[in-house]
Amino acid sequence: MKVPVYSLKGEVKKSMDFVRVFSEPVRLDLINRAVLSEQSNNRQVYGTDPLAGKRTSAHYHGRRKVRHSMMNREMARMARIHGSGFMHMTARFVPQAIKGRKAHPPKVEKIWKRGMNKKEKIKALVSAVSATAKKDYVASRGHMAEEVKHIPLVVDNGIEEVSKFKEISDVLKTLGLEKEIERTKEKKVRSGKGTLRGRRYKKKRGFLIVVSEYRGIEKAAGNIPGVDIVKIADLRVEDLAPGGTPGRLTLWTEGALEQIEKRFGE
């Protein structure tokens, strides 16, 4: 597949041939599994105190012919407190009692991580890269890509050294990403209780910038709403397909594509 490489002024510098990375069939099943696997690694384990609801003097009173026995008293035979005034014979400890333990509380030892075969992960990553070169998938995600110079969008390595917001904004507008930047500025108030829990606003996911090395662009473009910058060595399937939906509008640097083609293009 012949892909034009653009300069910072929006002019075609040269054309490069990427054989596999943009011609691989899109496997939605593998992409979804890879995204779930990556998200599961971010889950923080949680659980209740093992002694929650068990710190009580309540004990069983169901034996016969002993003091405070519950036999023949029409009482449920569960752990109860006795000898404490108004708390006398009050049920505790068991799940159905007030202030009792939970029957099946969340446990720290639960394994949240979802594994995935190494070859399937590689296949999912290459498939997600390929989806970024297909206009149908990019349009289905809602990106404003009508004025983008070319899909996939490949830019000269010089963009990695742009360290000022004004400069990177001018370059992105030259490449036809102005409408996409405007789209991601919009944010809405979330409905429900999420507004009380630190996630009041819903923001749109913009385009992705993939670079070979961090040379200053991460400081400049990091201030653009919805835009993410990632080094090719740290590239994940979730970066290319947020939420498991492939086709994120992606700006590749020439060096980043050379590395990924060298790694997966055989």
What domains does the chain contain, in order, with CATH numbers?
2-25+116-264 (3.40.1370.10), 44-111 (no CATH)
d(CA 77, CA 61): 7
The DSSP symbol for 156 reads: -
**Distances, alpha carbon 198 to alpha carbons 186, 187, 202, 224, in Å:** 18, 15, 11, 21
Query: At 210, phi and psi to the nearest 5?
Result: -110, 125
User: How do the pLDDT tens digits run along the chain, 266 residues long?
Assistant: 788 999 998 899 888 887 678 888 999 999 999 999 999 999 999 999 999 999 999 988 888 888 778 888 888 889 999 887 888 889 999 999 999 999 999 999 999 999 999 999 999 999 999 999 999 999 999 999 899 989 999 999 999 999 999 999 999 999 999 999 999 998 899 999 999 999 999 999 999 999 999 999 999 998 899 999 999 999 999 999 999 999 999 999 999 988 988 887 65
pLDDT value at residue 79 = 92
68: left (phi over 0), alpha (psi -120 to 50) or beta: left
pLDDT value at residue 257 = 87
pLDDT value at residue 183 = 93
pLDDT value at residue 89 = 87
d(CA 137, CA 144): 12
pLDDT value at residue 53 = 95
d(CA 62, CA 20): 74
pLDDT value at residue 103 = 95
pTM: 0.84
Single-letter amino acid, residue 185? K
pLDDT value at residue 16 = 83
